[in-house]
Amino acid sequence: MSSMLAAWRHAPTHSKVWALAAPMILSNLSVPLVALVDSSVIGHLPHAHQLGAVAVGGSLYTLLVWVMGFLRMGTTGFAAQAAGRNDGGALRQILLQGLLLALGFALLLGVLGVPLKGAALQLMQPSAELDELTRDYFHTRLFGLPAALASYALIGWFLGTQNARAPLAILLTTNLINVALDLWFVLGLDWGVAGAARASVIAEWSGVLLGLALTRKALARYPGRVDTRALRRWLSWRPLMAVNRDIFLRSLALQLVFFLVTVQGTRLGDATVAANALLLNGLLLTAHALDGLAHAVEALSGHAIGARDRNALQRVMVVAGGWSLLASVAFGLFFLLGGQLFIQLQTDIPEVRQTALTYLPYLAALPLIAVWSYLLDGLFIGATRAREMRNSMLLAVGLTLPLGWLLQGLGNHGLWLAFLSFMLMRGVCLGVLAQRLQRRGA
């Protein structure tokens, strides 16, 4: 306990954590704010199936993008360790590898996305109106997929070099353009759901072009050259691909859970799936804010591991953990006391509002349950311990899927109880694995 207290009192660590976390929190919060704007703009159109189309189509697109989260997470860990060694050549190689992987996977997912979308909608059994609008929205969003994945690689690389300003610029540019075009296309030009999709595509390409321009200045801090011969050898790709493989499986399992929540909500009716989407926007708001602290953990823990500084690693975890807990309490109180206004801002459809308010207490409990998984994800990413992340996620899914099946009779209440249990098990499984690694001195 005394060592933890001493770590918390270490002022330079607080400064380092917030120097990275503050810009990332600001930029991360802009991501769910775009979803909130989408929901708010579409939610004030006359029909629930229009809001449902953005929710379902957005979840299908997010499934494709978020399973590629390894492009950011894997890149961050390796870039952080290379920066800790002051290895400019390795940093250039990691950046180039990340961008090449982003382009390749975007082409692959673009081909697979259309048939997968059809199978997913068949499983959901939506109404005819919801099905048609969802297909239109999803097909348009696919044009932004290469930019979205390349942005992942760029943001991960910048974070690894402890540069939080560049990700802030990328995400703010992307999301502010998205908000402005959303309002113009949907309300000004009356393009409806299609307008929201077009706004997102233009915004994604704007963000990635800015990110590419910012890499030149960032690389000037780390002199070095890319070993082009190494790029042709499998051995130079193998560590990154191994980590990416495990993070991919972990992300796929996570997105499967969110997809099943959408599927079950769709089966419960248009109003239920729309209400759940509004509540999950609250989860996105919380997760992206807390991820700002987790991103700081990724960069600082990776740097400490690269420099073999165990004391610095402990200080980072104690300081980031304390602030994460305080932030999660604040979010829980916000949803508990101001949740009704949060829902009303997003839609004026009475049926959707009432349904969302019924399940609001689950959203208020979620930050305190989910915070630990976000924090520990940051530690494992910085350590490039992707296999352990994969195993803990698969274990959490395996433990909670039977519970979700047993709770089906409770309708949407059962769905939310199962989801809260899953988020709890994520943190528990990661915590157990972290303790085992610590005892082994790993």
The dihedral over CA atoms of 188, 190, 194, 200, expressed in degrees to the nearest 10, equals: 10
pLDDT score for 315:
85
145, amino acid identity: L
CA angle 20, 23, 29 (to 5 degrees): 125
CB-CB contact of 317 with 379 (8 Å) = yes
* Cα 185 from chain centroid (whole Å): 26
Residue-level pLDDT at 205: 92
pLDDT for 46: 56
**How far is residue 70's CA from residue 243's CA, in Å, rounded to a whole number?**
8
Segment (H or E) for 92: helix 88-124
Write down the residue that tokens 């999950």 correspond to.
280
DSSP string, 21-68: HHHHHHHHHHHHHHHHHHHHHHHTSS-HHHHHHHHHHHHHHHHHHHTT
Residue 441: is it exposed, middle or buried by C-beta count within 10 angstroms (0-12/13-18/19+)? exposed
In this prediction the pTM is 0.67
Phi, psi of 69 (to 5 degrees): -60, -20
Count of alpha carbons within 13 Å of 372, Cβ hemisphere only? Answer: 15
CA neighbor of 366 nearest in space, from 283, 291, 302: 283
Q: What is the pLDDT of residue 8?
A: 77
Specify whether the CB–CB gap between 133 and 194 falls below 8 A.
Answer: no
pLDDT at 91: 80
C-alpha gyration radius of the chain:
21
The confidence score (pLDDT) of residue 368 equals: 92
**What's the CA gap between 66 and 105, in Å, rounded?**
12
Task: For 280-296, give one letter per residue: b (16+ CB within 10 A) or e.
Answer: bbbbbbbbbbbbbbbbb
Both structure tokens of 5: 């207290």
- Both tokens of 66, joined, read 């978020």
The pLDDT of residue 422 is 92
**What are 61-104's pLDDT values in tens digits?**
777 777 777 777 778 777 877 777 777 777 888 888 888 888 88
The whole-number pLDDT of residue 425 equals 92
- C-beta atoms surrounding 146 within 10 Å: 20
If we measure between CA atoms, which residue out of 200, 162, 160, 173 comes closest to residue 57? Answer: 200
**Residue 335 corresponds to which amino acid?**
F
Spans in the chain with pLDDT lower than 70: 1-2, 27-40, 42-53, 55, 59, 117-132, 224, 226-227, 230-236, 238-240, 307, 441-442
**Contact between residue 202 and residue 143 where contact means Cβ atoms under 8 Å apart:** no
Q: Where are the domains of the chain?
A: 2-439
Q: Are 316 and 49 in contact (CB under 8 A)?
A: no
pLDDT digits (tens, 9 = 90+) for 107-139: 888 887 777 766 666 656 556 666 667 777 778
Euclidean distance between CA atoms 312 and 10, whole angstroms:
10
Report DSSP letters for 368-385, one per residue.
HHHHHHHHHHHHHHHTT-
